[in-house]
Structure 1
């Protein structure tokens, strides 16, 4: 019975579907369970099914139970890759975030674990499921305050709000005589999930939008986005899928990919996880393979990167901030969007390089405390973050 429950919770974790109660239950299981063979067996089973081609990550370790209880954690020395992966997963579950940081051109510090503490009264809560839906006739629906169920009827198409920040479309009877376009927008501090009329799924990050028809017809399925979105496209060989941004077009048949088109970023980036996509920008085009990323910079040139860390690219979808050699402005932009705050630099922008992962479910003050391990100071006043050297 224990194995079945532990397997269920680990599967939920790898699917990114764990609730807070399930995370705590999993952490409690591991904190009290003394059977290392059982933990190894469960992790081995879930890893092979959910990430069969992903290499096991290098991770800090020590006894898992010590990490869960907050005792000092020591680096791994030639530990078996599977148990190293277990340590990485469980540290995130237990502590809220695993953080590695280093100053520019300085030696890397030992990893440290952020301890979860009760947020002070003046803290800023993390973002959540918030979005506004604008129908084809101009009607605006606040999805976060609407009840679950049918929120709108557009001809023969029903717009249905599901649980846990999701929206879907259901068609009844004949195709509508007129195809309308809807737009979903998330504010800063919001995210939402959408199942398009063709069954394709979209994860919309904070301060983003997606515009799409209530039914796909013709030769092309086309949507347009601003900000950032992750797509799992339903395969239709007879009707390719197209995503348009300001400057880049992505064409697919059926695949998984992420598009980052925030206006405040210097580069529009499309990253492929599965399948194949064709990216067009200006007079250039490129066919991407899994693990490749196409970047469009202000000069109009299309650059291709190989062996991109796709886990980092889609970490936001899985409830994490994840960085690899990220500079201060890049980190702060993510905090601005997710916590709906403003960042103010007192003096020059500190030159720091960040790496590691933090749960997006943490209050802002705890995230800033973790970041301060990189020898930088923050002051939180209302919805303003002041950055000090």
Structure 2
């Protein structure tokens, strides 16, 4: 078999798209032990596929192929395996629980171990209109003020049709600390996923005939907005410090962390209008606007939206990202402080997908093991030193 043909089959196998005939060819090709090393090399270097925190086991990979073959023989059709929704990302393969694609600064090592999971403790803080603060933790369920929730989510009841329009809306705040994430469903049915270190302001109910407004004070949030058609045409607006996003009903992501120079708005579906006060633009799906905190100028780019919203599905997705940016994300997620003792190390770039439940120490060990520059780390008192 020509190298190009087998490479295509390997790629289709990894993407879980190989048909019965292709799997049979791959299985036959792998029976020649001289091809095992070629298979490993292609998977891990040429195709930049998931290098795992442990010893990659070729035999398990072969068994997986044969298992698929058996399944397809029984069903007499191509097995349909549900793909991850991250369309442009590489799926986790070969019985892997953790995957990370390696960038330019890697010296590849093989390993597969049982990875311990660090359980995050969600301790969102709900601040009521009267200033009262409520810790939404796992000790007790919350049920009051038109809402019910626990340590993971907060659901507001729909407005009763008999309720009258009020002159002044009552606003609540949700503060999501570092090391946590949270879900809230507003009274209009809008769903909001809040990332670590975020804070949002929203009304307990909305007035009919008025724009539905919420404010992302800082942090990152993914919105699935209840469409205007369900609310007599009432539009939906998300405010941040430097922009306004006008929505008619759509899915989009807003990232506006305090320490970032830009505010990012990524549209998954529908249409939104981003207004910075300086100018306004309409975003189409798969586009991202970037508003400068300094100039208010709006830049629009075509992006891989699956990469941008991977965090909603419990994944970190890095695309040629400097280690400095990766560690900034991880520091929020694990609530740690990161100190670099070398400016050069900050610039090392990696591309990959990582499960958000991965133990932090395992991630650090991994970066330490793959670097040509011999990255070292220490972790004490919630401080990571990288040198």
Deviation at 1:281, TM superposition (A): 0.6
Q: 2:212 aligns to what?
A: 221
Q: 2:115 aligns to what?
A: 117
Deviation at 1:242, TM superposition (A): 0.3
Report if the CA contact (8 A) 1:101-1:109 is conserved: no
Q: 1:363 aligns to what?
A: 359
Distance, in Å, in 1 between the alignment partners of 2:286 and 2:108 is: 29
What secondary structure, in the 3-state scheme, does the structure 1 residue paired with 2:354 have? Answer: strand
Q: How does 1:130-169 map to 2 (within 5 A)?
A: 130-148=123-141, 150-153=142-145, 158-161=146-149, 165-169=152-156
Distance, in Å, in 2 between the alignment partners of 1:56 and 1:270 is: 19
Distance, in Å, in 2 between the alignment partners of 1:38 and 1:152 is: 51
Over aligned residues, Cα RMSD in angstroms? 2.9
Report if the CA contact (8 A) 2:159-2:205 is conserved: no
* Closer, same or farther: CA 139–37 of 1 in aligned 2, 3 Å: farther
The correspondence for 1:94, drawn from 93, 96, 106, is 96
Kindly indicate whether residue 338 of structure 2 is the aligned counterpart of residue 343 of structure 1: yes
Q: How does 1:274-353 map to 2 (within 5 A)?
A: 274-297=269-292, 298-306=294-302, 308-350=303-345, 351-353=347-349
Report if the CA contact (8 A) 2:271-2:282 is conserved: yes
The correspondence for 1:233, drawn from 219, 225, 244, is 225
Query: Deviations 1:199-232 (Å, cap 9, x if unpaired)?
Result: 0100000000111001111420000011100000
Q: 1:385 aligns to what?
A: 384
Distance, in Å, in 1 between the alignment partners of 2:280 and 2:110 is: 43
Q: 2:191 aligns to what?
A: 201
Q: How many residues align?
A: 311
* Closer, same or farther: CA 36–284 of 1 in aligned 2, 3 Å: farther
* Closer, same or farther: CA 304–197 of 1 in aligned 2, 3 Å: same
Q: 1:175 aligns to what?
A: 163
Query: Deviations 1:87-140 (Å, cap 9, x if unpaired)?
Result: x2345x63322331323xxxx766967643347xxxxx3534331101111111
184-193 or 349-358: which moved more?
A: 349-358
Q: How does 1:239-254 map to 2 (within 5 A)?
A: 239-254=234-249
293-302 or 352-361: which moved more?
A: 293-302
What secondary structure, in the 3-state scheme, does the structure 1 residue paired with 2:130 have? Answer: coil
* Closer, same or farther: CA 345–293 of 1 in aligned 2, 3 Å: same
